[in-house]
Amino acid sequence: MIHSPPAFHVEPGGVLRGNLRVPGDKSISHRAIMLGALADGVTHISGFLEGEDSLATLAAFRRMGVDIQGPEAGRVVVNGVGVDGLKAPDGPLYVGNSGTSMRLLAGLLAGAGLEATLTGDASLSVRPMKRVLTPLFAMGARIEPSPEGTAPLHIRPGGALTGIHYDMPVASAQVKSALLLAGLWARGETCVTEPAPTRDHTERMLAGFGYEVRQEPSRRCLRGGGRLRACPVEVPGDISSAAFFMVGAAIAPGSDVTIRHVGLNPTRLGVINILRAMGADIETTETRLVGGEPVGEVRVRYRPLQGIAIPVDQVPLAIDEFPALFIAAACARGITRLSGAAELRVKESDRIQVMADGLAVLGIAAETTPDGLIIEGGEPGGGTVDSHGDHRIAMAFAMAALGAREAITVRDVANVATSFPGFVGLAAGAGLAIAEAS
């Protein structure tokens, strides 16, 4: 018997209310496993995201000989093997839908000089890898991608890598992180210059593990040959997951939501900055440092939104949150214009085209450009939207029902579990009339 992929069915209207806590930050969860495995000593992680992407990273390091206990209620214990203690896996490392796992592991494994093959699911296997492979090749890495420059990636051992000074043509935290991780083993200094700020979780966490990273306004440098010391890691709530509830509260009259223990890293605040520029009533409070990461609460109350030209300097700071932000634009008065976001076309889906197609189903005019989208706001209707297996698009269109006239069905939502296990229960508890269907 053939089963159709799961779907969301969401009734229109509703109000979001309550105090919520979203799952742990995916980016930090990945890096905590990686650096904990490479450290000397035992790393205790709390708040770990038990989603498919970060579990794929955890499984990969188990395959490389790292003793990892958990996860259990977000707690993980990593018994580090040191920078020279990883073992070559006995078969391919499958990382599912996780681009972060594949790109960061490409740098880490090339640096460590291990033989391994990185594979992923159908979606990840068509995502471009050239932008991370090109600088790794310049460091001396031996990596064989498919003829199309995609996964699987066959990593071959060779001599020690050589540090390089690399100017990234496009801002990418994954590329930056892959090169810094490769640089842990490289001869000399590895420096990465970024054209715009990107999330800096790798640099912060390396410092927390006692590894010196020289940080300049647009450049990050480290020298190979050092050691990492185990330390506790507390993973805050993921602002990318919180973004769906921020947008939901911003578009649904009467809404008042507080999201607790959210990561408020300055390199991730684009979604808040953009929503505020659109007129959203957003308050951040109780900011404190947890393991080097700013953490606090975000309160969002409904207020009518206005379309804007999204500042280009905010694009790298909100790159994963644009599916949700496009829903805010669809419910705002006037026109919202986004440019400088060509990166969105090579995510889990072509997020520019897939979002435009879905908005058209709901009766919202959305004109695509090579690097962005122009959305004429209004009141969305209803209909059936195809998420193309993209977790963030699935959750964004679910939240769109809060501002819609009619019910919305979102197809192909299984991959929501990659980043937000428990999304349906949390959203329903907050007031979204959502149900899973097949």
Cα–Cα distance, 166 to 178 (Å, whole number): 12
18 CB burial (10 A radius; 0-12, 13-18, 19+):
middle
Whether 2 is in a domain gets the answer no
Residue 428 belongs to domain spanning: 7-24+236-437
Phi, psi dihedral angles at 50 (to 5 degrees): -90, 50
Same structural domain, 205 and 335: no
Burial 277-307 (b: 16+ CB within 10 A, else e): ebbbbbeeeeeeebbbbbbbbbbbebbebbb
Same structural domain, 271 and 324: yes
Three-state DSSP class for residue 415: helix
Whether 193 is in a domain gets the answer yes
368, 102 in Cβ contact below 8 A? Answer: no
Phi, psi dihedral angles at 122 (to 5 degrees): -60, -40
Whether 240 is in a domain gets the answer yes
Same structural domain, 139 and 219: yes
Same structural domain, 272 and 379: yes
141, 153 in Cβ contact below 8 A? Answer: no
Same structural domain, 258 and 379: yes
Whether 149 is in a domain gets the answer yes
Helix (H) / strand (E) element for 31: namely helix 26-38
Among 213, 234, 255, residue at a domain's last position: 234
Same structural domain, 270 and 204: no
Same structural domain, 200 and 316: no
Same structural domain, 276 and 307: yes
Catalytic residues, by residue number, are: 320
Same structural domain, 315 and 189: no
CATH code (residue 382): 3.65.10.10
Helices (H) and strands (E) in the chain, counts: 12, 23
Among 209, 234, 259, residue at a domain's last position: 234
Short-list 403, 352, 356, 396, CA closest to 381? 403
Whether 1 is in a domain gets the answer no
Domain count, the chain: 2
Beta bridge partners of 79: 42, 67
Tokens of 108: 């880490």
Among 184, 202, 234, residue at a domain's last position: 234
Same structural domain, 241 and 218: no
Same structural domain, 222 and 264: no
Whether 302 is in a domain gets the answer yes
Short-list 301, 362, 353, 278, CA closest to 323? 353
Same structural domain, 379 and 241: yes
Per-residue pLDDT of the chain (438 residues; tens, 9 = 90+): 456 789 999 999 999 999 999 999 999 999 999 999 999 999 999 999 999 999 999 999 999 999 999 999 999 999 999 999 999 999 999 999 999 999 999 999 999 999 999 999 999 999 999 999 999 999 999 999 999 999 999 999 988 999 999 999 999 999 999 999 999 999 999 999 999 999 999 999 999 999 999 999 899 999 999 999 999 999 999 999 999 999 999 999 999 999 999 999 999 999 999 999 999 999 999 888 887 899 999 999 999 999 999 999 999 999 999 999 999 999 999 999 999 999 999 888 999 999 999 999 999 999 999 999 999 999 999 999 999 999 999 999 999 999 999 999 999 999 998 889 999 999 999 999 999 987
